[in-house]
Chain A
Amino acid sequence: ETGVTQTPRHLVMGMTNKKSLKCEQHLGHNAMYWYKQSAKKPLELMFVYSLEERVENNSVPSRFSPECPNSSHLFLHLHTLQPEDSALYLCASSQEGAGGALTDTQYFGPGTRLTVL
């Protein structure tokens, strides 16, 4: 148990569906991340929120829409996905250091295994 939870753990959706992934961290951290993990590929950073503001958007298609209502919760809204979006989606959190640099270790949730039909 790393202190970061994600729901659902598994999701199967059609290309026309709308769904949302949820992440919650219980570590008192102030930064949260979404990563995509595909088989045999490195983790790809998608979005970063620091103090509830989005500070990174790594050229992610608009069919992925993040939301961070507070420092403990992070959502990823999914709409009109493609089969190649099937992957493990991981959430992580860390504590932003003094001066605005995110220097601490990132702690990961167990991920949501997404399958797009």
Chain B
Amino acid sequence: GQNIDQPTEMTATEGAIVQINCTYQTSGFNGLFWYQQHAGEAPTFLSYNVLDGLEEKGRFSSFLSRSKGYSYLLLKELQMKDSASYLCAVRDHGDYKLSFGAGTTVTVRA
């Protein structure tokens, strides 16, 4: 299985930038996902990385380094609606299952 670590909580100011780190250990790697989950709602897909480098989608970017077992999710120009839990999930090679981290709760303050 995987061992997936991410910080429990982060706080930032509206308009600022926050970087959520995720480290993982896996015997084989077949992709890393980031999901956003607002309280009481479904986790929603944000990004997918399978090759090293940066994937940018508007205000959100995700980075992957397979050799370091490391990813980050970068949230720019923070808005109040970005207050949510952010889940890192890793898929093993030849497998369909996702292993999730415990999630990082981001609180955006005015």
B98 close to chain A: CB less than 8 A: yes
**How many residues of chain A are within 8 Å of chain B by beta carbon?**
25
Using a Cβ cutoff of 8 Å, how many contacts connect chains A and B? Answer: 51
Selected contact of B43 from candidates A94, A96, A108, CB within 8 Å: A108
- A111 and B42 contact, CB distance less than 8 A: yes
- A4 and B96 contact, CB distance less than 8 A: no
A110 contact set on B, CB distance < 8 A: 40-42
- Contacts A4-B42, A40-B102 given; indicate if A101 touches B96 (C-beta within 8 A): yes
Smallest Cβ-Cβ distance to B43: which chain A residue: A108
Interface size bracket, B side: 20 to 34
The secondary-structure label for the interface of chain A is: loop
- B42 and A106 contact, CB distance less than 8 A: no
Smallest Cβ-Cβ distance to B48: which chain A residue: A105
B103 contact set on A, CB distance < 8 A: 42
A59 close to chain B: CB less than 8 A: no
- A105 and B33 contact, CB distance less than 8 A: yes
Binding site for A on B (CB under 8 A): 4, 8, 30, 33, 35, 40-45, 48, 87, 89, 94, 96-103
